Amino acid sequence: MNRQRSLAISVFIAVLLGALSVYLYVKATPYQAEIDHGPSPEAHANPYLGAEHFLRKQGLTVGHANGLDILPTLEPHQHSLLLLGDRYNMTPRQIDQVMNWTRAGGRLLFVAQSLWDEKTGQSNDLLLDRVQLHQSLSKDLKEPPPDIADDPYPKLTKLYLENEDAPAYASFDTAFHLEDPKNLAQAWTNSGKATHMMQLNHGLGSIIVVTDADLWKTSAIDQYDNAWLLWYLTADTSVTLLFNTDHDSLLTLLLRYFPQALVALVALIGFACWHVGVRNGPLLEPAPRARRQLQEHLRASADFMLRRKGQSSLLHALQQDILRRVRHRHPGFEQLGVAEQWLVLARLTGQPTRAISQAMSPRPKQRLSSVEFSRLVAHLQTLRNAL
């Protein structure tokens, strides 16, 4: 009887599983889903990877480099060099090399990286200063005339071509503006208010200066006519992109790959210095605990600070403590003038302003006598205790 019951239960479970399988097979609908794993490591390392792929699809030979040491191997004729990264560590010698390469027939495109300083007559961008162009903020420009103000796309830069009814649009950063005080530019492109690209002739070659290159990064190159503009500027040439000129120093590489070795080296140097160090005198026996009183500790600490940091450090510490206390009692004290601050101190402490001025004024570098120093410290302590 038990065997029949077990068999019946087994058959029931099998039928139930079969029915469930048929139901799931009828109801289940297969579908395809794409899982976005984010940019590849290559895209993370190269923000202009999309630009490289686009130019290659147009039939151009494209490469990228991390330094100007590749410049001697580049044939200037029908070659475009795009300096899209930081150039703050670029030396005058490297600038001469780039300009000579351009003069020999190369096509140079670079990003203006610094604002023009009227006071110093230069910017922090040596290459931009060499081509005699200036970069400023668009917000400092005058408002455009009414006919330009009616531009339906004031935030986009427009490039007008012959035999074309409509301009090409590019999304340069409109916060910056290029100026040509020497009238050297042969062509330029503007947004509703500012200029964002200029082209100059230089010997057998040409120079193109832009306010930014973010429109050619992978995240923006497919917008508007950004990709087409990059192809237009580099057409019929081989292209080399240089966008990462900042190299890790030797110390950075050592810290990244050999931290344990550096720690061991520092410990070894410290041990060697300790071993060969010469003592200044005989060792003193530790004082018995019975005579280690608080007053002795305070006196020893004060003597140590006086020897190590001098009188001015101690006086400055007292003055800062007084200012900290008076700021707590009188909000906005630091915004007052010096004379008004002395009056507030006089009112809070009951001391005359003349005495407060003498005590709180910066001290000269010459050493005070013991009597003067003690008197000044006592006066400062009186002011502090009154607060």
Q: Is residue 286 part of a domain?
A: no
| Residue whose C-alpha is closest to residue 339's, from 316, 361, 362 | 361
Q: Which of 222, 242, 262 is the last residue of a domain?
A: 242
* Number of structural domains in the chain: 2
Is 16 inside a domain boundary? no
Tell me if 379 is assigned to some domain: yes
CB contact at 8 A, 213 and 43: no
Q: How far apart are the first and last CA of the chain?
A: 100
Provide the pLDDT for residue 42: 74
Based on the fold, state whether residues 318 and 197 are members of the same structural domain.
no
The pLDDT, as a whole number, for residue 298 is 52
What is the rounded CA–CA span in Å between residue 79 and residue 89? 24
* Domain boundary residue, one of 206, 223, 242: 242
Question: Measuring CA to CA, how many Å separate 19 from each of 7, 12, 155, 179?
Answer: 18, 11, 64, 79
Amino acid at 100: N
Token pair, residue 337, equals: 């003038």
Rounded to whole angstroms, how far apart are CA atoms 55 and 48?
A: 11
Three-state secondary structure along 100-134? HHHHCCCEEEEECCCCCECCCCECCCHHHHHCCCE
- pLDDT score, position 67: 82
DSSP 364: P
Cβ atoms within 10 Å, residue 206 = 19
Give me the pLDDT at residue 339, please.
76
pLDDT tier at 379, thresholds 50, 70, 90: confident
Once rounded to an integer, what is the mean pLDDT over residues 345-354? 76
| 236 and 93 co-located in one domain | yes
User: In this structure, what are the phi and psi dihedrals at residue 195, rounded to the nearest 5 degrees?
Assistant: -105, 135
- Report CA 259 to chain centroid distance, whole Å: 25
Residue 122 to residue 134: CA distance in whole angstroms? 9
Q: Is the domain of 76 the same as that of 177?
A: yes
DSSP H or E run through 304: helix 294-329
DSSP notation for 312-361: HHHHHHHHHHHHHHHHHHSTTGGGS-HHHHHHHHHHHH---HHHHHHHHS
* Mean pLDDT within 231-237: 92
Nearest 5°: phi and psi at 384?
-65, -40
**Does 170 reside within a domain?**
yes
Average pLDDT of every residue of the chain: 81
Query: Residues 202, 186: contact at Cβ < 8 Å?
Result: no
Q: Which of 61-75, 300-314, 336-350 has the highest mean pLDDT?
A: 61-75
pLDDT of residue 162: 80
> Is the domain of 210 the same as that of 354?
no
pLDDT of 1 higher than 80: no
Residues 6+ apart with CB under 8 A from 197: 157, 159, 172, 178, 188, 189, 208, 209, 210, 211
State residue 58's pLDDT score.
Answer: 92
Domain assignment of residue 303, given as a range:
296-386
Would you state the structure tokens that stand for residue 386, as one six-digit string? Answer: 């009154």
Look at residue 322 and tell me if it is in a domain.
yes
Half-sphere exposure of 275 (CA within 13 A, CB side): 6
Residues 200 and 94 grouped into a single domain = yes
Looking at 164-173, 238-247, 274-283, 327-336, which range is the least confident one?
274-283
Write out pLDDT tens, residues 128-180: 999 999 999 999 888 766 555 567 788 899 988 887 778 899 999 999 999 99
pLDDT at 129: 93
Tens digit of each residue's pLDDT (9 = 90 or more) over 30-57:
777 777 666 667 767 778 888 899 999 9
* Confidence band for 311, pLDDT divided at 50, 70 and 90: low
Q: 33-62 burial by CB neighbour count: b if 16+ within 10 A, else e?
A: eeeeeeeeeeeeebbbbbbbebbeeeebeb
Longest dimension (CA), the chain: 117
Band (8; pLDDT cuts 50, 70, 90): confident
Instruction: Assign 299 a pLDDT band (cuts: 50, 70, 90).
Output: low
Instruction: Assign 366 a pLDDT band (cuts: 50, 70, 90).
Output: low
In degrees and rounded to multiples of 5, residue 241 shows phi and psi of -100, 130
Does residue 370 sit within a domain? yes
pLDDT(64) > 60: yes
Q: What is the pLDDT of residue 34?
A: 76
Ranges 178-187, 200-209, 326-335: which has the least confidence:
326-335
Going by pLDDT thresholds of 50, 70 and 90, the confidence category of residue 181 is very high
Residues 177, 311, single domain; the answer is no
**Looking at residue 89, what DSSP letter applies?**
T
Asked if the structure places residue 32 within a domain, the reply is no
Same domain, yes or no: 189 and 319: no
Are residues 212 and 318 both part of a single domain?
no
Place of tokens 């290459």: 127
Confidence of residue 100 (pLDDT cuts 50, 70, 90): very high
pLDDT for 304: 59
Comparing 187-201, 222-236, 273-287, the range with the smallest average pLDDT is 273-287
Domain CATH number, residue 223: 3.40.50
Asked whether residue 216 falls in the same domain as residue 323, the answer is no
Same domain, yes or no: 233 and 332: no
Using CA atoms, how far residue 225 sits from 37, 82, 215, 218, 263, in Å, is: 28, 18, 10, 14, 53
